[in-house]
Amino acid sequence: MPRSETARPVFTAYADVPPPVRGQVRDLRLRWAHEELGRDYRVEELDVYHPRPDGYLEWQPFGQVPAFDDGEQRLFETGAILLYLGEQDPRLLPPEPKARWQAITWLFAALNSVEPFVAQIGALDFFHAGKPWAAQARPSALRLLEARLASTEAALGDKDWLAGQFSIADIVMVTVLRILDHTQILDSYPKLAAYKARGESRPAFRHALAEQLESYASPAN
């Protein structure tokens, strides 16, 4: 991409994905963050079904989306990209040190301590449904996940947001919890369910989700 086009940050997404995972692809996190800031962005669409374009692995070594470029930094990993964006704006990362470090801590917790357990259930249900070994593995995966959800709910308590005020930690945690939308698992965690709904009701989230879903419906697909 020519440098002159980088006035708007660009990130990668898939031109289309199978219906069950529409609304789940992680470029949603970056769309949401940009919408919170009212910042324009450009999406570079990749074909999920074909090899990545030449040179893409130099940008995203695992060949995944999203990868991000604002002309200053070329980054991958949603956690790192959100931290980078948060450093630029207190609406995504509170400046006051205690709240800031709570947000960073919960950003890592969402990515490292909750997402792997949610993703395991997602993988069993979306990609291995109907396989006998998946049915056998699911109860223990569910037990592990339930322990993490109970701990997250207890830590959230009566707060609206993980770090007190809305932050990049909530962008990740809410999008992680959404991976369970095809299940009733969150029904047992009413505070977490309300927290997820609070995130999803933010105008920036709704715009971001609509943009992602519209991109799959575009004539190019």
Ligand X SMILES: N[C@@H](CCC(=O)N[C@@H](CS)C(=O)NCC(=O)O)C(=O)O
| Interface residue list for ligand X (CB under 6 A) | 25-26, 63-65, 77-78
The nearer residue to ligand X, 148 or 191, going by C-beta atoms, is: 148
Helices (H), 46-187: 56-59, 78-87, 97-108, 115-126, 132-156, 168-177
- CA 121 to mean position of chain CA atoms: 16
Distance CA(186)–CA(214), nearest Å, equals: 27
Q: At its nearest, how many Å lie between ligand X and the CB of residue 152? A: 18
Residue with tokens 């070994």: 133
Smallest separation, CB 96 to ligand X (Å): 26
For the bound state, the minimum distance from the C-beta of residue 25 to ligand X, rounded and expressed in Å, comes to: 4
Give the closest residue to 178 by CA, choosing from 106, 122, 102: 122
> Which is nearer to ligand X, 21 or 134 (by Cβ)?
21
Q: How far is the CB of 29 from ligand X (least distance, A)?
A: 7
Which residue in the shown chain puts its C-beta closest to ligand X?
64
Choice between 64 and 165, CB closer to ligand X: 64
Alpha carbons 80 and 132: distance in angstroms, whole number: 37
Q: Which is nearer to ligand X, 63 or 190 (CB)?
A: 63
Closer to ligand X by CB, 135 or 213: give it.
213
Q: Which of 38, 40, 34 is nearest to 5 (CA)?
A: 40
Separation CA 118–CA 113 (nearest Å): 10
Q: How many CB atoms lie within 10 A of CB 137?
A: 16
CB of 49 to ligand X, least distance (A): 11
